[in-house]
């Protein structure tokens, strides 16, 4: 508009629009034309250079403004995306937490049921005289126990690798499957003349014909041992540990073992009792927990929980 609305740019040269502004404001043309004649060719050329530079600067400022506006728009979109990712992560953690809780509940229920069946079987085997009905009852309990799953393979049937028992493949120490009882045992003796094997099943010793036995392959026996070890009901998890009276090194070692076991037991929160004292033990444990990979957060107990004498740890 050639109106005098200047914006000062410190340190930058600019073209002078004085004559053009004067013409717009009504100064006589002959005066302005005479004034133009006083300008040298160099001055006029410099004015033109400055004018073009100013035009370029204005275009650059506009491009910068548009770029900044676009950057802010993309930054806003990125922030929204990060927020959605955080929401999804929180939702996933919530689902995982619910799944872990449900899994622990199911395992606890199945463990309790397995312990009941084992107790009933133990009562049968502790009898001095075991009758045929007791054997049938034990077999029934054994089948019920076998149906209890502690892993994710519920209902999955596996092909068992058994072979017929013969005089050539049976020997003392061989793992066998007892067909009439539908259970496993170990050969403790063999009579080739009678074609009978002495088999130990739990606390029972029996004499069985080879036709009543199947040889369990070593591969199947190893798999069964692993399965049995995996399905043994675990003892109740420990929720707290007392390190009072220990040195810092001893306490840190015990706390690390305690955390490892808690992670294995799928615990979410545990407690360390360290007392108040001089605060040396508490501070050392706190510094160690800050760097522990399995610790999400920790805090002192509230009123009635031991306050600063205990530390509650939330596990990842």
CB contact at 8 A, 207 and 195: no
Q: Reduced to 3 DSSP states, what percent helix, strand and coil does the chain have, rounded to the nearest 5?
A: 50, 15, 30
**182 has a pLDDT exceeding 50:** yes
pLDDT at 308: 84
Q: Does residue 313 have a pLDDT over 70?
A: yes
Q: Higher pLDDT residue, 117 or 285?
A: 285
Given a cut of 90, whether residue 139 has pLDDT beyond it is: no
Backbone angles phi, psi at 296, to 5 degrees: -85, -45
Q: CB–CB of 144/117 below 8 Å? A: yes
Residues 6+ apart with CB under 8 A from 144: 117
pLDDT tens for each residue of 85-96: 888 888 888 887
Whole-number pLDDT of residue 68:
92
Residue 154: its pLDDT value, please?
42
Report pLDDT for 26.
Answer: 93
Q: What is the pLDDT of residue 149?
A: 59
Distance between terminal CA atoms of the chain? 67
Average pLDDT, the chain: 79
Confidence tier at 235 by pLDDT (50, 70, 90): low
Integer-rounded Cα radius of gyration of the chain: 43
Asked if residue 263 lies in contact with residue 294, where contact means CB atoms within 8 angstroms, the answer is: yes
Mean local confidence (pLDDT), 278-296:
89
Strand partners, 184: 177
pLDDT score for 226: 44
* Section 208-212 average pLDDT: 86
Predicted local distance difference test score (pLDDT) of residue 220: 52
Residue of higher predicted confidence among 277 and 314: 314
Q: Confidence class of residue 231 from pLDDT cuts 50, 70 and 90?
A: very low
Contact 196, 210 (CB under 8 A): yes
Phi/psi of residue 197, each to 5°?
-125, 140
CA dist 86 → 89, 90, 91, 153, 293 (Å): 5, 6, 9, 33, 21
Assign 295 to helix, strand or coil: strand
Residue 179: partners with Cβ closer than 8 Å, 6 or more residues away: 212, 213, 214
DSSP-based three-state secondary structure for 187: strand
* Rounded mean pLDDT, 33-57: 82
Nearest-5° Cα angle at 169, 168 to 175: 150
Report residue 67's pLDDT band, with 50, 70 and 90 as the boundaries.
very high
User: Who has greater pLDDT, 64 or 195?
Assistant: 64
């Amino acid at each position: 508009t050639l109106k005098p609305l200047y914006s000062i740019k410190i340190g930058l040269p600019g073209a002078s629009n004085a004559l053009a502004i004067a013409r717009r404001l009504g100064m006589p043309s002959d005066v302005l034309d005479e004034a133009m004649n006083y300008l040298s060719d160099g001055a006029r050329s410099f004015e033109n250079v400055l004018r073009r530079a100013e035009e370029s600067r204005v275009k650059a400022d506009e491009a910068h403004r548009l770029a900044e506006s676009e950057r802010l728009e993309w930054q806003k979109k990125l922030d929204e995306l990060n927020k959605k990712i955080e929401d999804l992560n929180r939702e996933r953690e919530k689902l995982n937490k619910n799944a872990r809780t449900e899994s622990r509940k199911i395992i606890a229920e199945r463990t309790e049921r397995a312990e009941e069946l084992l107790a009933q079987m133990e009562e049968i085997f502790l009898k001095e005289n075991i009758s045929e009905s007791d054997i049938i009852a034990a077999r029934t309990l054994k089948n019920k126990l076998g149906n209890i799953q502690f892993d994710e393979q519920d209902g999955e049937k596996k092909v068992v690798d058994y072979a017929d028992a013969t005089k050539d493949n049976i020997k003392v120490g061989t793992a066998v499957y007892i067909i009439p009882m539908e259970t496993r045992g170990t050969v403790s003796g063999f009579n080739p003349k009678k074609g009978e094997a002495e088999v130990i099943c739990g606390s029972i010793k029996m004499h069985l014909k080879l036709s009543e036995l199947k040889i369990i392959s070593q591969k199947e026996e190893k798999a069964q041992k692993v399965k049995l070890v995996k399905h043994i009901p675990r003892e109740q998890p420990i929720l707290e540990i007392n390190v009072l009276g220990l040195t810092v090194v001893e306490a840190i070692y015990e706390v690390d073992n305690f955390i490892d076991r808690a992670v294995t037991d799928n615990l979410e929160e545990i407690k360390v009792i360290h007392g108040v004292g001089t605060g040396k033990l508490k501070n050392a444990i706190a510094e160690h927990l800050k760097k522990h990979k399995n610790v999400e957060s920790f805090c002192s107990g509230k009123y009635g929980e031991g306050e600063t004498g205990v530390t509650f740890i939330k596990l990842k």
